[in-house]
Amino acid sequence: MAEQQLTEGQKKDLGDYQSLQQQMQMLMMQKQQLAVAQAENKAAVEAVEKAEGKVYRFAGSVLVEKDKTALKEELANEAETLELRAKVIDKQEKQARERL
């Protein structure tokens, strides 16, 4: 009933606001998932640093032996990618907050 009393402009503004809220929720979920991935990456780097002897990495559902140096490089590249994704999400979040 209250929605019938809204003008077309108000309905559009309300729709835009709800869309922005959904976008913010999605960004927050992505941010949380990214934080988990970064924590896992950090733990993996620490485990590789402490490892003596052979190191392994999952390839699908199979563990594959990896060269320790190569694995550290892969993990560093992944950390860099995760950091870039975090910056993009932060930028998107800032833009969405400004529009709210």
What is the spatial distance between Cα 45 and Cα 72, in angstroms, rounded to a whole number?
7
Residue 99, pLDDT score: 85
Give the tens place of pLDDT for each residue, 33-66. Answer: 999 999 999 999 999 999 999 999 999 999 999 9
Domain spanning 32-100: CATH 1.10.3720.10: no
Residue 58, pLDDT score: 92
Q: What is the pTM of this model?
A: 0.80
What is the spatial distance between Cα 25 and Cα 48, in angstroms, rounded to a whole number?
35
Residue 50, pLDDT score: 95
Domain segments of the chain as ranges: 32-100
Give the tens place of pLDDT for each residue, 3-38. Answer: 568 888 898 988 999 999 999 999 999 999 999 999
Tokens of 57: 């990495």
